Amino acid sequence: MRVAMIGTGYVGLVSGACFSDFGHEVVCVDKDRGKIDRLLDGVMPIYEPGLDSLVASNVEAGRLSFITDLKEAVPGVDAVFIAVGTPSRRGDGHADLSYVYAAAEEIAHALDGYTVIVTKSTVPVGTGAEVEKVIMKARPDLKPGVDFSVASNPEFLREGAAISDFKRPDRVVVGTEDERSREVMAELYRPLYLNETPMVFTSRATSELIKYAANALLATKITFINEMADLCEKVGADVQQVAKGIGLDNRIGKKFLHAGPGYGGSCFPKDTLALTKTAHDYGSPVRIVDAVVEANDKRKKSMAGRIIETMGGSAEGKTVAILGLTFKPNTDDMRDSPSIDIINMLQDAGARIRAHDPEGIEEAKKVLKDVTYCDGPYHAIEGADAAVIVTEWDAYRALDLSRMKEMMKEPVLVDLRNVYRPEKVREAGFTYRSIGRA
């Protein structure tokens, strides 16, 4: 089949590359000339394990191409995916759909035969219907269901595991309003039937809501265990054991129960906020998600206080080594990373920051000021009054504690991801603080 993918961000680029790897002919479109030129040279705009070789092999096989002109990409394709950004709108927290509608209008003008227009970006309920209206306004000669259809196909991939998540998903969700587009979507995903991926075919609005409901529930699970962690610290319990003890109940499930500094990234913060806005607009608030948004914001901000407390109550004139800047490992993404609040607040309290991250330093430079970036974890901790593990990169999982102790000014380790066993670190002579473990 032939596919056009509009937008070469995380979702667009990974989906485009994976569809082409399934054997479809895919053209990826992005207005950013520089980005397309770099992709043509094999330079990926994001760090995602395995993506560069996947792109290279499919470009070489002639199934994957990159262009800037949408008008050239759309004619003759079976499906056009809209995978442009839907950032939080400044001021009100609603998803900003201007890029989605602009793409829809441009697509409308390029349509030359029956095509399915698919929203892959995370969009609020009702966006598919709006996209249909935009197309009808731009092309009054076209009839929905006859000349074109608008479908919803949210993406659930995680950064850092994006390719395997796309190729071996827990499920694929497709929302359509007519049989013809349902058949096109079924054919596109047919390669996944081989590994018996469950397909959820539903209405467009339901599909749109499934994406928000999934992300909000996952964010709720994380926030729940984070608050349990705080309670564990007060009552002298261990959150890791609590997570294990509840997670073994199949009705709860053990994933997304890892307590930490609060969730970040390109999806959870923006999508939970957008869901609360939609719910309030419809007069049907999802109060639990309101609470999750508030609790997570507060949590990220409270982490600096925890670090300062562990250093003895003051950060003034002290040097803090931050290990891990990205919102999670195996990505260079800094969006809404807990490290941002932590570093800003430590700096406000008078601390100097030395930082290391295996992939995120270039992105970090765009959002942080006055940070000394280091080549490795040991370089970062040199002379520091405290080391803080903010992101659980593999590089920080087996640090040589005695070497660290010799290099640091004060042996203080704050482990916001519970990477280490408290007794081991204390035995090594450190003041150690983790999350939810007394």
Tell me: does residue 327 bind ligand UDX (CB under 6 A). Answer: yes
Binding flag, residue 157, ligand UDX (CB under 6 A): yes
- The pair phi, psi for residue 431, each rounded to 5°, is -85, 120
Among residues 18, 232, 267, 374, the one annotated as catalytic is 267
Q: Which is it for the CA torsion 294, 299, 300, 304, positive or negative?
A: positive
Q: Over 308-324, what HEC string results?
A: HHHCCCCCCCCEEEEEC
Among 169, 265, 324, 377, binds ligand UDX (CB under 6 A): 265
Cα separation, 369 vs 387, whole angstroms: 19
Measured CA distances, 253 to 105, 164, 256 (Å) = 43, 21, 8
Minimum CB distance to ligand UDX, residue 74 (Å): 26
Question: Minimum distance from CB of 143 to ligand UDX (Å)?
Answer: 33
- Choosing from 268, 373, 420, 430, the residue that interacts with ligand UDX (CB under 6 A) is 268
- Residue 85, interface with ligand UDX (CB under 6 A)? no
For 358, residues 6+ apart whose C-beta sits below 8 A from its C-beta are 329, 393, 395
Q: In whole angstroms, give the CA distance from residue 228 to residue 213.
A: 22
Asked if 123 interacts with ligand UDX (CB under 6 A), we say no
| Residue among 19, 47, 263, 432 that touches ligand UDX (CB under 6 A) | 263
According to CB under 6 A, which one of 139, 158, 167, 301 is a site residue for ligand UDX?
158
- Contact segment (CB under 6 A) with ligand UDX among 55-63, 250-258, 361-369, 400-408 equals 250-258
> Among the candidate windows 175-183, 186-194, 215-223, 282-290, which touches ligand UDX by CB under 6 A?
215-223
**Cβ distance 68 to 105 under 8 Å?**
no
Active site residue 374: no
Q: Of the two residues 22 and 156, which places its CB atom closer to ligand UDX in the complex?
A: 156
CA 146 to centroid of chain Cα atoms = 36
Residue 362: how many CA atoms within 13 Å on its side-chain side? 6
CA distance 225 to 214: 17
- Nearer Cβ to ligand UDX, position 12 or 260? 260
Candidates 99, 256, 344, 410: give the one binding ligand UDX (CB under 6 A): 256
Which of 118, 108, 128 lies closest to 5 in space, CA to CA?
118
Asked if residue 267 binds ligand UDX (CB under 6 A), the reply is yes
If one asks whether residue 222 binds ligand UDX (CB under 6 A), the answer comes out as: yes
Catalytic (active-site) positions: 267
Q: What does the binding site for ligand UDX look like in residue numbers (CB under 6 A)?
A: 155-159, 215, 218, 222, 256-258, 260, 263-265, 267-268, 327-328
